[in-house]
Amino acid sequence: MPDKLKIGIDLGSRKAKFALMRGVQIVRLADLDTISFYKKYGSMVNDELSLDLLGSGIFTAEELAEAEITVTGYGRNSINLHGARVISEIKAHVAGARTQTGLANFTLLDMGGQDTKVAQVVGGRLTDFVMNDKCAASSGRYLENMAAVLEVSLEELSSHSADPVALDATCGIFGESELIGQILRGYAPERLCAGVNLTLVKRVMPMLKRFPSDTLVITGGVALNRAMVSLLMEQCGMNVVIPEHPQHNGAIGCAS
């Protein structure tokens, strides 16, 4: 008997991510800008946000009729999807990391659009976690803002790790002001990009030190920042693993 079809939805602050899975096989992955997705396919029904998944074209009517749907993410508690199960973000990301890597013992670092989560997984079970959602200074939004100040793309920003300029502000807003000051001092753009990437490492290291492990699994969109990952590897002393689909990890966890 074939495994049941499952749909996982991660309603992030920046991107809405979708995974269609049958067992451990990924049938389809998709993502849309969250604001655009809500504007085009969302409507208020009885004071709840209802999403038109069929109208989005991501899933067929047959798939929606057959599949179990599980939702997580920033908007998980504000939507109305008939029959959908809602789970916490940390549970979804741990499940996604386990499915994608096959590991049972690791520390998970999930760096999303507006928050950062670090979890300890032992024997396949979540044992503890810490979350920074009070300030976006260790998130993807921070990188977007700093890239805008430097007038470079996120891809360009993520390619520089050598000889970073010191940036010490712990607040995203003050960090922008400090970066502007360093620009005015004449530092090379490459060194400034490296400095921005290093600030992320400085902010997550105290969280990582709470949960020492041999292996660090990094998920979320920031996992695609090659320079940040390289700098983090130099400091954390752990074997770093990045799943094949770090941005869709929460959706994959929902569908696992």
Whether residue 17 is contained in a domain is answered as: yes
Task: Look at residue 77 and tell me whether its pLDDT is greater than 60.
Answer: no
41 within domain boundaries: yes
Phi/psi at 52 (nearest 5 deg)?
-90, 85
Q: List, as one string, the DSSP characters of 205-227.
A: HHHHTTS--SEEEEESGGGG-HH
Query: pLDDT, tens digit, for every residue of 217-254?
Result: 999 989 999 999 999 999 999 999 999 999 999 999 99
227 within domain boundaries: no
pLDDT one-digit tens code per residue, 83-95: 688 999 999 999 9
83 belongs to a structural domain:
yes
**pTM of structure:** 0.90
pLDDT higher than threshold 80 for residue 192: yes
Looking at the predicted structure, is the pLDDT value of residue 170 above 70? no
Within a domain: 197:
no
**What CATH number corresponds to the domain at position 28?**
3.30.420.300
pLDDT of residue 180: 92
pLDDT band (50, 70, 90) for residue 135: low
pLDDT higher than 60, residue 190 = yes
pLDDT given for residue 82 in this prediction: 63
Q: Is residue 65 part of a domain?
A: yes
Q: Check residue 132 and give its pLDDT.
A: 79
Neighbouring CB atoms inside 10 A of 185's CB total 9
Angle of helix 189-208 versus helix 172-184 axis, rounded to 10: 150
In the predicted model, is pLDDT for residue 137 greater than 60? no
CA–CA separation, 97 and 71 (whole Å)? 16
Task: Provide the domain count of the chain.
Answer: 1
Looking at residue 138, its pLDDT comes to 57
**Is 216 domain-assigned?**
no
Q: Tell me if 64 is assigned to some domain.
A: yes
Domain of residue 61, residue span: 5-92+251-255
Separation CA 95–CA 118 (nearest Å): 14
Tracing tokens 């908007």 back to the chain, one arrives at 75
- CA Rg, the chain, in Å? 19
Report the alpha-carbon distance of residue 15 to residue 31 in Å, rounded: 6
Structure tokens at 208: 């990582």
